[in-house]
Structure 1
Amino acid sequence: MSGRPTGGRPVIGGVRSAFAPWEDPDVAPLVRFEGVSKRFGDQAAVEDVSLDIHEWEFFALLGPSGCGKTTLMRLLAGLETPDAGRILLRGEDITGLPPHARPTNMMFQSYALFPHLTVAQNVAFGLRQQRLPRREIAERVEEMLALVRLEGLGRRRPDQLSGGQKQRVALARAIAPRPRILLLDEPLAALDKKLRDETQFELMRLQHELRMTFLIVTHDQEEAMVVADRIAVMGEGRIVQVGRPAEVYEAPANRYVAEFIGDVNLFEGQVTASTGQSVSVVSPAADLVADSTQGFAHGQTVWIAVRPEKLVLHQDQPPRGPNLLAGEIREVGYLGDWTIVMVATAPGRTVRVALANTARASTRPLAVGAPVWLSFAPDAAMVLTA
């Protein structure tokens, strides 16, 4: 069984990767959306979405504002009712069930902590709704606070906490009732970048320790890439592509995905040759060659997509050949681990290059206005038709 390596414990994580139950036809999904649609007036928020999410998976719904990702999550939570289609949990139709009857819980972007309750009382709120014995509630609260590393803060109130601590309280409250699937609606949006980066790995640790299915909604590509086993990229209410983070980054389904996931340089051109192993393209920028097993018609318009880190920058002119672009440095941005170089190339376009700073200092600084040449290997490029 793909999802359970030896010992029965799932290996969780997008690049940590024995965990792939979606590749096993004998493994039924935990959640299944079947042709689900939802409209608000004349606007289609979700349009004919079919999607499987597996048990123990950390799944991300990723897309820009208004793409339908939050509506899809709210449909699963029972906070919205679909106009068409159905939602299955373990094969059971839950489309008509109210939120309290579903084995889900949601952590909201605003955290929605009760200001008049202590941290411990906030965490215990859902447990009291379940009418658990008082002793069991107290033990569960202590367990949850330890899990999110807030031991000793149970008597504080939300206004006595930092933003990161409030986020952890909201997370503890959401997982305390032990839902079958935890729904995370932009959970890190209110945190500063450093804390957000740290919390991403905390979420992964928690999900692994709890052996719980997490579904996160985010517009942050980096966040989705870090935490998720798989990502569903959404656009205009539809699922555009589903895959592991590396798949959607290195093999995007179209230009929309390529441009939304990270940075990309797109070169439009016409096919001059297609061998089944590579494709040759003539573009205004240069003659380009990319590896591709897909067949293309002579003269067909395609886009060669190259990520900034795949480009090689030459300060001295290399030998002539395909995939070589001449240009001039327009801007240089130093980011510490990376240097971003904006290069103006013919005919009047700008190409983005990312250079890893592997040495402490450059022996030959990059000067604005200096001539440079860019190149890339054929296997570093992607060929897109839409």
Structure 2
Amino acid sequence: MNAKPRLNIGAVRSSFAPWADPSAKPLVRFDQVTKRFGGETAVDAVSLDIYEGEFFALLGPSGCGKSTLMRMLAGFETPDLGRITLGGEDLAGRPPHLRPVNMMFQSYALFPHLTVAQNIAFGLRQQKKPKAEVAARVDEMLALVRLEGLAHRKPDQLSGGQKQRVALARAIAPKPRMLLLDEPLGALDRKLREETQFELMALQQRLGMTFLIVTHDQEEAMITADRLAVMRAGQLAQIGRPAEVYEAPNSRYVADFIGDVNLFEAKVTEDDGDIIRLVSPEAPEGLEAIEDDAIAIGSTAWLAVRPEKMRVHLDPPPPGPNRLEGSVADIGYLGDWTTYLVELPGGRTIRAARANASRVVDRPVDWDDKVWLTFAPDSAVVLTR
């Protein structure tokens, strides 16, 4: 028997960008949507397009409005202002069970008295599908999520990962046009969560279905999503591909929320069109960054540098901009990475990270070592807000 060809997810995802096509029509459109609870605004005039076949992530801290936005799409909440369309049709007034979306909840919400097969079949039976069609679809879903031998078990006989697969199969079985995932992996342990993230991506590509995931886990959003939207206080702070948002954040909030970052407050002293030069008390020899946008001389800006862009030196590098001196205050060994907390003379702590590419290090950086940190001008992002 020939092996099933492996889907090249990378090739598919790298070429998928309908949002860049002016003629492409979104599957889902949030148009100036606002939702209030009492005197609090949970979602504030949000406009957002999600395209057919896209894996989209809403990312943000608790209370930022991401779950409320999803619940309005599912029909569990009603917008106070604005409208939501799916496939060009206004969803206003349409109850949840008549919307072409299914939602997978963080708790999984499996029926404890039903078997795995009966849980998966639930939505199909609600649709009054013929018995033979239901049985065939259940078998298809069991194979899809690799639970063929567990059809007759009850939920209390399953592991957390198995329950998650049953919930996913049940949500997909009725063939919704869109699947909504509300913190779907939060109950799994770290290793299983990481494995399931890649399984979700492969499953979404095989089904060709549109996925919308809500999560506060930045790693989860960056791994799974074609695009993500970072939310803050009911508004969209930035939308883009994961790498774009990580490498080119548009604000200190986004830079700080997505991954670790060192932020240097500084004054702009020179802008020659390509290079921005700045002064900061934390960098006696000055700071430099590559920046295309013009920034007013004398204005305040913040230089954002990711820890992995920092280079740690035990011997002093040549004098010049983007050179900091300090001592190692703490070290975190993570196996694949080592993180160094370096205290500058003024008391500020800077974070640097180094990949452990070799098992042997001639002279490892140790606690209390005097070190120098450097970074390239193209490693820094200039932020003005």
TM-score range with shorter-chain normalisation?
over 0.9
Q: 1:196 matched to which residue of 2?
A: 193
SS at match of 2:150: coil
- 2:33 counterpart (10, 26, 36): 36
Q: 1:250 matched to which residue of 2?
A: 247
- CA offset at residue 12 of structure 1? 5.9
Alpha-carbon distance in structure 2 between the residues aligned to 1:13 and 1:72 = 29
SS at match of 1:17: helix
Tell me, yes or no, if the aligned pair for 1:61 and 1:234 is still in contact at 8 Å: yes
Alpha-carbon distance in structure 2 between the residues aligned to 1:210 and 1:70 = 24
Alpha-carbon distance in structure 2 between the residues aligned to 1:379 and 1:274 = 15
- CA offset at residue 236 of structure 1? 0.2
Tell me, yes or no, if the aligned pair for 2:35 and 2:44 is still in contact at 8 Å: yes
Alpha-carbon distance in structure 1 between the residues aligned to 2:11 and 2:66 = 20
- 2:42 counterpart (40, 45, 50): 45
The answer to whether the aligner puts 1:65 opposite 2:62 as a matched pair is yes
Q: For 1:215-230, what aligned pairs fall within 5 Å after superposition?
A: 215-230=212-227
The answer to whether the aligner puts 1:276 opposite 2:273 as a matched pair is yes
Partner deviation per Cα, 1:116-170 (whole Å, 9 max, x = no partner): 0000000000000000000000000000010001111000000000000000000
- CA offset at residue 95 of structure 1? 2.1
Q: 2:136 matched to which residue of 1?
A: 139
Alpha-carbon distance in structure 2 between the residues aligned to 1:95 and 1:221 = 31
Alpha-carbon distance in structure 2 between the residues aligned to 1:26 and 1:182 = 24
Q: 1:364 matched to which residue of 2?
A: 363
Where structure 1 has 5 or more consecutive residues not aligned to the other structure, the ranges are 1-9
- CA offset at residue 92 of structure 1? 1.0
SS at match of 2:324: strand
Higher mean displacement: 25-34 or 92-101: 92-101
- CA offset at residue 15 of structure 1? 9.0
Tell me, yes or no, if the aligned pair for 2:110 and 2:119 is still in contact at 8 Å: yes
Q: 1:185 matched to which residue of 2?
A: 182
Alpha-carbon distance in structure 2 between the residues aligned to 1:41 and 1:260 = 28
- CA offset at residue 199 of structure 1? 0.1
Alpha-carbon distance in structure 2 between the residues aligned to 1:91 and 1:115 = 38
The answer to whether the aligner puts 1:288 opposite 2:287 as a matched pair is yes
Higher mean displacement: 92-101 or 38-47: 92-101
SS at match of 1:152: helix
Structure 1 stretches (4+) deviating beyond 4 angstroms? 10-15
Amino acid at match of 1:155: H
Alpha-carbon distance in structure 1 between the residues aligned to 2:133 and 2:242 = 39
SS at match of 2:341: strand
Alignment TM-score, normalising by the size of structure 2: 0.96
The answer to whether the aligner puts 1:303 opposite 2:321 as a matched pair is no
Amino acid at match of 2:48: L
Alpha-carbon distance in structure 2 between the residues aligned to 1:265 and 1:113 = 44
Q: For 1:72-91, what aligned pairs fall within 5 Å after superposition?
A: 72-91=69-88
Amino acid at match of 2:312: L
SS at match of 1:279: strand
Amino acid at match of 1:43: E
Q: For 1:108-187, what aligned pairs fall within 5 Å after superposition?
A: 108-187=105-184
Distance 1:308 1:349, change over 3 A: same
Amino acid at match of 1:181: M
RMSD value, Cα: 1.2
Alpha-carbon distance in structure 1 between the residues aligned to 2:13 and 2:83 = 32
Tell me, yes or no, if the aligned pair for 2:9 and 2:202 is still in contact at 8 Å: no
Tell me, yes or no, if the aligned pair for 1:14 and 1:245 is still in contact at 8 Å: no
Alpha-carbon distance in structure 2 between the residues aligned to 1:214 and 1:12 = 15
Q: 1:324 matched to which residue of 2?
A: 323
Alpha-carbon distance in structure 2 between the residues aligned to 1:193 and 1:228 = 18
Amino acid at match of 2:272: T
- CA offset at residue 11 of structure 1? 8.2
Alpha-carbon distance in structure 1 between the residues aligned to 2:47 and 2:296 = 32
Distance 1:14 1:246, change over 3 A: farther
Partner deviation per Cα, 1:77-112 (whole Å, 9 max, x = no partner): 000000000001111111221111110000000000
Alpha-carbon distance in structure 2 between the residues aligned to 1:242 and 1:145 = 35
- CA offset at residue 324 of structure 1? 0.1
Amino acid at match of 1:302: A
Amino acid at match of 2:120: V
Alpha-carbon distance in structure 1 between the residues aligned to 2:274 and 2:41 = 41
Distance 1:211 1:15, change over 3 A: closer
Amino acid at match of 1:134: K
Where structure 2 has 5 or more consecutive residues not aligned to the other structure, the ranges are 1-6
Partner deviation per Cα, 1:18-61 (whole Å, 9 max, x = no partner): 00000001110000000000000011110000000000000000
Alpha-carbon distance in structure 2 between the residues aligned to 1:72 and 1:283 = 41
Alignment TM-score, normalising by the size of structure 1: 0.96
Q: 2:260 matched to which residue of 1?
A: 263
- CA offset at residue 347 of structure 1? 1.7
Q: 2:3 matched to which residue of 1?
A: none
SS at match of 2:357: coil
Tell me, yes or no, if the aligned pair for 1:11 and 1:17 is still in contact at 8 Å: no
Amino acid at match of 1:33: F
Partner deviation per Cα, 1:271-316 (whole Å, 9 max, x = no partner): 0001121100000111100000111111100000000000110000
- CA offset at residue 14 of structure 1? 10
